Structure 1
Amino acid sequence: MAAESEDAGGAPDGAGAVDGAPRGADLARRALEEARARAAAQGKSVGKGMASPQRRQQRRPSRRRWSGPAADPRDPQTLGTLAASLARRRGWNRHVAEGRVLGCWEEVVGDEIADHAAPSSLNDGVLHVTAESTAWATQLRMVQGQILAKIARAVGDGVVTKLEIRGPSAPSWRHGPRHVSGRGPRDTYG
């Protein structure tokens, strides 16, 4: 009985050729041989995939190389370096620079200015600065160009394009929902 099935199909049950057409593993083997022949005819290297012993020797050196005393990308990195590279990759550089202007104000503009003025907000390149007195607000308006240059050196060009400097605000005398419009107290805050 087994002999009859071999003779009828030309191969054992389920494999080989039926009526001269290859099937199963024979079909895959023939397709692979044809693909290798076409690749060899085009001048491509055949049989040098990832599992090839030649490829393995190229990928792994015979001796492991250590980083040594010089800096190496495999060495541990500082948090600041990693954060800077993450911000650069994600396109957050502008937001980080804006945060640096507000967060490191004393380092950016210097101790003297930072002692008498503080940034309140940064919107669309306009930095709002509040001075402790009207005299300091006037002084800062006069050196506005120098302050912008210091900010540009510290965080980069284009982060702050304009300064809006305000003096201290006088207390409001409006207590409650109703008020009388008019001159108000004149000789108290001059």
Structure 2
Amino acid sequence: MNDDPQHVHNSPEPAEEEASEPPAKSGIELAREALAQAKADAVKRGTLPGQNGKRRSGGRVVRVREPGRGGDPKLFGAAINELMASRGWEQRAAVGGVFGNWAGIVGAELAEHTRPERFEEGELTVAADSTTWATQLRLLSSTLVRRLNEELGHGTVRRVKVVGPSSGPRRTGAWRVR
């Protein structure tokens, strides 16, 4: 037994229990095992561990391209145009450009008193800040449709709907005097 006076041991030694259970692994040991497993999986797939997608092929290294990528670099504008075409966003982007350049399309004076609100199924809704400006825009609507189709492509805008200022709901029925 131990002659050290500070060593106090009251319970019997569990030598049999400790021998049957393996000691708990440290975090570093677990990480090493996970890394070894990942490397083994990569080798089974035919990729080189740590080489970001390079594959072994008969002793030579071949770069594996990601789907939808590759080829020569493109100019930013061309890449954006290609993306918009592939996603069907061309018309929406063009309409957004019209909204952003409203003053350039209709003129500064008309743009001060009108604003495009929405574009749905070939119909552009434009709000005017007074009935006078709404009337003016209605008179110019055929010219505006032609001008917008020059910007956006033939047949994009079929109609311009002009809405004037709203004064709230009107009462129906007979005339009322206050």
Q: Could you state the TM-score of these two structures normalised by the residue count of structure 2?
A: 0.50
